[in-house]
Structures are given as C-alpha cells and as structure tokens.
Chains A and B, each alone.
Chain A
Amino acid sequence: MDKITALIVDDSSVMRKIVERSLRQAGIELEKVVEASNGAEALVALQSNKVDLILCDINMPVMDGLEFVRQAAAMESAKGIPIVMITTEGSESHVVQALTAGARGYIRKPFTPDQVKEHVLPVLGKKQ
C-alpha cells in the first residue's frame, strides 16, 4: 500500500494521537499526519497540504465536523478526498447528516483499531 497523508481533525490532542496510532495498527502507512483541532483549522490545512484521507470528529469548538464536511465538499482542492467521521455522536440522524454532507464512513467512539481498519480501508480502495 502506498504511503498516504492523513488529516486528523479533533479538538482533543490525545484523541488525534490515538487515531494516528489506530491507522498505523490498521496497516496504513503514513507519509505525513496533519492535525487540526477544529473544522476551521482543517479547511486552512487543506489549502496547504495534499491530503489522501480525512478523519474528523463532530463535536468541536469554532467549527464542528458536520459544517467542515459541508464546506470541504464545496472546495475544489478537497474533491475526492474520503472523509471518515470518528465521533461519540452515534445516533442515526447524525450518521445520515454526515453521509448526506459528503462523509464516506462513520466510526463511533469508543472504537477499536479493527473498526478503523474496517471503515478506512474501503474508502481508500484497499482490501481488508
């Protein structure tokens, strides 16, 4: 598998590290990890980084994950980049909102590395 650049968006630095570790445990080789602590920072990061995958929380200050997904979907530079939500918001309505906005996957916290593998590999076009 080619090495990828992942953008991890979460207001918790601890959670960003855990998500990165889970990606590595899932066998995904990371060329670079770009971190953002809210949706607004993530939009800025997308303008200056070539990103292959976005993992994004929903409940964040400044700009939440759903608004980020909506705005990223309208950005030319973000077209085609798969977005997977990783969030404590587990309701069906949140899942529908996220997928309608343009997310390609949805992982509920707490999560295992296997769940990350199960949801992330398909959106990268990789077999599990």
Chain B
Amino acid sequence: MNTDASLVTRSHEENWLPILELAVEEVFEIMVGCRVKVAGQTEHKPNEEFTAMVGLAGALCGILTVCCDGKTAGEVAKSMLGDTADSQEQVADALGEICNMIAGNFKNKLAGTDGRCMLSVPTVISGGEYSFHSLAEGTSVEAVLLFEGAPIAVRLQLES
C-alpha cells in the first residue's frame, strides 16, 4: 500500500515541517510538562542511542521516528512519570508513547486523512550501533527540537 496520491502531491507542495514541529511542541508541553524549542538541524544532531518508531499505513504510508541520547530519554521519562521512571523498560515505553502521540497529533492536524491513516504500536530500539533502512523513500520531513538543551530529532518518512 502506498501513500494516497493526493497526499503525495500535497507533501511536495505544502510545507509540513511547521505542522510536525507544532505536533511535537504540543505533546511535550501537555504530556511531559516542558516546552521544547525548534533548533537548527545542522548544528544540533542527537546521539541516537534511543530510537522510537511508529508505522503509518493507509492514506499516509511510512514511518515516524523519534531519536535522542540515553540521558535525554531518561529525563523525558522522569518528567512524565516522576522519579518512578527508573528502568530501561520504562524509559523505552515513555519514548514510544511520545512517538505514538506525535504521530497521532500530526495526522490529526493534517486535513484529508480522516480515518484513513492507521498507526502501528510503537517499537523502541536502544543502543546506537545500528543502521536504519526504511523502505519509505518518498517525502522526508525532519524536525530537531531542544529538550532542556538536548536535541531530539523527529523524522517523518513517507512512501511515494
């Protein structure tokens, strides 16, 4: 299944980056209780020790990933749960939920996907020694935001 042709066209013609950035900002402000700031993509590249991913299928077909270093993932989990976030499992769970909510919030903001775009349950990889190859090689949008000064990269990769 490929991305809906009209959405492929829109992804080329419209700038979806501000929509993605807004989706990320809202999730962090409401669920993490912290404002994140948009950062330049070139000067802020996170050490990708944690990668959370959610698949999209239907009108939008591809993958959304959230990457950050281990310390930042731990701080995000602590902000969500308090000091009870003490295990690697909880940190991964928290980052997976953040990714899930960003994907949902993004598609809910995008007109024309109503009910025709489904999300997978999140998957989280920890450890930086891996290569990421997505079959979704169409439009790609990347937002880098600073959480307490540390970069978090959010990427949306869509199939053509």
* Chain A residues engaging chain B, CB cutoff 8 angstroms: 11-15, 17-18, 59-61, 87-94, 108-112
Please give the distance in Å from B89's CB to the nearest CB on chain A: 8
Q: Are the C-beta atoms of B30 and A110 separated by less than 8 Å?
A: yes
Could you say which of A87, A88, A89, A94 has the most chain B C-beta atoms within 10 Å of its C-beta? A88
Is B153 an interface residue when CB atoms closer than 8 A count as contact? no
Q: Are the C-beta atoms of A91 and B97 separated by less than 8 Å?
A: no
Q: Are the C-beta atoms of A60 and B114 separated by less than 8 Å?
A: no
Could you say which of B80, B100, B113, B119 has the most chain A C-beta atoms within 10 Å of its C-beta? B100
A19 to B149, CA, bound (A): 28
* Chain B residues engaging chain A, CB cutoff 8 angstroms: 26-27, 30-31, 77, 80-81, 84-85, 90, 93-94, 96-97, 100-101, 103-105, 107-108, 113-115, 118-122
Q: Are the C-beta atoms of B121 and A91 separated by less than 8 Å?
A: no
What are the nearest 8 A-B pairs in CB distance?
A: A88-B104, A93-B115, A90-B108, A110-B30, A91-B115, A14-B93, A110-B31, A91-B114
Could you say which of A14, A61, A93 has the most chain B C-beta atoms within 10 Å of its C-beta? A14
- The secondary structure that dominates the B interface is helix
Q: Are the C-beta atoms of A91 and B108 separated by less than 8 Å?
A: yes
Given A89-B119, A93-B114, residue A109 in contact with residue B90 (CB < 8 A): no
Q: Are the C-beta atoms of A112 and B30 separated by less than 8 Å?
A: yes
Known: A18-B81, A91-B114. 5 other contacts (CB 8 A): A12-B93, A18-B31, A88-B119, A90-B108, A112-B30
- A sample of 30 inter-chain contacts (CB < 8 A) reads A12-B96, A12-B97, A12-B100, A13-B90, A14-B80, A14-B90, A14-B94, A14-B97, A17-B84, A59-B100, A59-B118, A59-B120, A88-B100, A88-B103, A88-B105, A89-B104, A90-B104, A90-B105, A91-B108, A91-B113, A92-B114, A93-B114, A93-B115, A108-B104, A108-B108, A109-B104, A109-B105, A110-B26, A110-B30, A112-B30
